[in-house]
Amino acid sequence: MTAAKTEPKPEAVETKVKMPPSSTRPAKEAARRKFTSGARKRTKPSPIKPDIILRLPKRSKGASMQDLEKATGWQAHSIRAGLSGLRKKGIRIDLTRTASGKTFYKAVKE
C-alpha cells in the first residue's frame, strides 16, 4: 500500500488594508456645510393617522370604514381602536349602518 501524498493547506492570507490615520474633522465640516448652506429643502410635515381618522368623520356625510381603511392603510380593528381613542378624548362619534351593511362614522359637534 502506498500512502496518498497530501498537499499542505495554504496559509491564511492576511487581507487587511493599511489605511493612514484619518481625522473625522473633514466629515464633520462637510456635514455642517450641508445643513447650513440653505440648500436643504423644507417640507410641510405630513398629517399623522389619528388626525386623518378625525378629519374624515367630520365631513358632512361622515366616513365609511372603507374610506378610513384607504386613507390610513390600517385594518378595520386598528381604525376602531383609533376611533375609541378619539372618544376617550371627548369627541362624540356616531355609528350608523346601512341596509347593505356599510358602516359610517360621523363626528358630531356637541
Evaluate whether residue 74 is within a structural domain.
Answer: yes
Cell of 68: 378610513
Torsion of CA 63, 94, 86, 48, to 10 degrees: 10
Evaluate whether residue 13 is within a structural domain.
Answer: no
Evaluate whether residue 85 is within a structural domain.
Answer: yes
Evaluate whether residue 61 is within a structural domain.
Answer: yes
Domain count, the chain: 1
Which residues, including other chains, have CB under 8 Å from residue 78's CB and lie 6 or more apart?
Answer: 72
Q: What rounded mean pLDDT belongs to the chain?
A: 78
Evaluate whether residue 1 is within a structural domain.
Answer: no
Conformational region of residue 85, where left means phi above 0, alpha means psi within -120 to 50, and beta covers everything else: alpha
Evaluate whether residue 34 is within a structural domain.
Answer: no
- How far apart CA 23 and CA 33 sit, in angstroms, is 17
Q: Residue 56: give the domain boundaries.
A: 49-108
Q: What's the pLDDT tens digit per position in 69-82?
A: 998 899 999 999 99
Output the domain CATH number for residue 76: 1.10.10.10
pTM beyond cutoff 0.85: no
Whether pLDDT at 47 is above 60: yes
Q: Are strands 92-97 and 103-108 parallel, antiparallel or unpaired?
A: antiparallel
Evaluate whether residue 9 is within a structural domain.
Answer: no
Evaluate whether residue 27 is within a structural domain.
Answer: no
